[in-house]
Amino acid sequence: MSEWENRKTNNNELLKAIIVFLELLKVGDTSQDDRFAFTAEWYDPNASLFRRYELLYYPKDGSVEMYDVKNHRTFLKRTKYESLHLEDLFVGNKITVFSRHLTLVDYGDQYTARKLGSRTERTLALIKPDAILKIGELMDIIINAGFTITKAKMMVLSRKEAADLYVGHQAKPFYNDLLQFITSGPIVAMEILGDDAVCKWKTLLGPANSAVAQTDAPDSIRANFGCDGLRNAAHGADSVASAAQELELFFPSSGGHGPVNTAKFTNCTCCIIKPHAVNEGLAGKIIKAIIDEGFQISALQMFNLERTNVEEFYEIYKGVVAEYMDMVTELCSGPCIAMEIIQPEPPKVFRDFCGPSDPEIARHLRPGTLRAVFGKNKAQNAVHCTDLPEDGLLEVQYFFKILDS
């Protein structure tokens, strides 16, 4: 064989190898044999300690398995779990696996870190007093933009808390007006997560002056919901560092409490947006429907409930409704949003607006109710609401006094 033929053969072999390599790259994230590993922690309230697990996720069939790191044994055999998705898996996120709330503290191997390690960031999304009645629409925009809301709480800021938030604005001529405005009524603070979250949220907000936003970014939040440079609907951090500082003010990692909730504990009833509805991105739509019906949301907070808390809360249903165990499992399966609802004038019954507990019946008899529109079955019926008027205060106190403390 001539030297030219040898060179041609070698080039062909090299070309084939390159094609195979490119095909492997093309498969990428869609590989049928992918398995992602994480180190996860769970706080055991009975033993008052953190337990560590290796969590494995198989995207091919959505199954998970878990190993107890300390005891070197299988904790959960490989099981299909439809509530967990690939986009939920990143270091720092809190996930729920069969009612157990886990924090992903590290990648379990280099392959997972390389494939799933991304520009995932967290930032503060703060809804200001002027836009509090638009919280449903704004949450919907946040969800539809691909963010995950991991914390949320309605608050009224003290002047000191407001000064801590706007410490970088002290030299501005509008500083006192800013503090007066932000403390003038309830706000909703949220921790939102997503790829390049700080920049993406700032872009979604638009220019700080709403008049400028209407010209330069007509589709932005401030263009559509704000009035001027002060009353501009929402706030976002300027950098990853300031996002971390601001989140610490509202959701302290050190075990502190942060600003107090806004519960009034008078003339109230309780509503809980259930985990399945939160995970399906329906929270904003449900909140908008409640406000549009004339009800006032006077307190709001996201909770991740332990099973013991849910059993305690649902105790009156035990042995009374056949779906009791399914109801308990649902309410501790992920984050829920609890709200204190104030009856409007003239009074309307909030329970009537929620509709029958069975969504199928609700769709036939009360098609405009929350459960008819957003519910799936008796356990996953979108919302819990107080059944008896005399229990409204007790249920609100359970969330906003006992659990929030």
Catalytic residues: 235
Helix axes of 135-144 and 283-292: crossing angle, nearest 10 degrees = 160
Q: Whole-angstrom Cα distance, residue 138 to residue 288? A: 9
The residue among 263, 127, 288 whose CA lies nearest residue 205 is: 127
CB 340 within 8 A of CB 186: no
CA of 335: how far to CAs of 3, 6, 146, 152, 220, in Å? Answer: 69, 65, 17, 10, 28
Q: Whole-angstrom Cα distance, residue 303 to residue 275? A: 10
CB 187 within 8 A of CB 157: yes
Q: Does the CA dihedral 395-400-404-405 come out positive or negative?
A: negative
Tell me the β-bridge partners of 383.
273
CB 395 within 8 A of CB 284: no
The residue among 340, 278, 268 whose CA lies nearest residue 304 is: 278
Tell the residue number behind the tokens 């504990």, with chain if given: 265
CB under 8 A, 24+ apart: contacts of 394-399: 395/269, 395/270, 395/313, 396/263, 396/265, 396/268, 396/269, 396/270, 396/299, 396/340, 397/265, 398/270, 398/313, 399/270, 399/272, 399/301, 399/303, 399/338
CB 95 within 8 A of CB 64: no
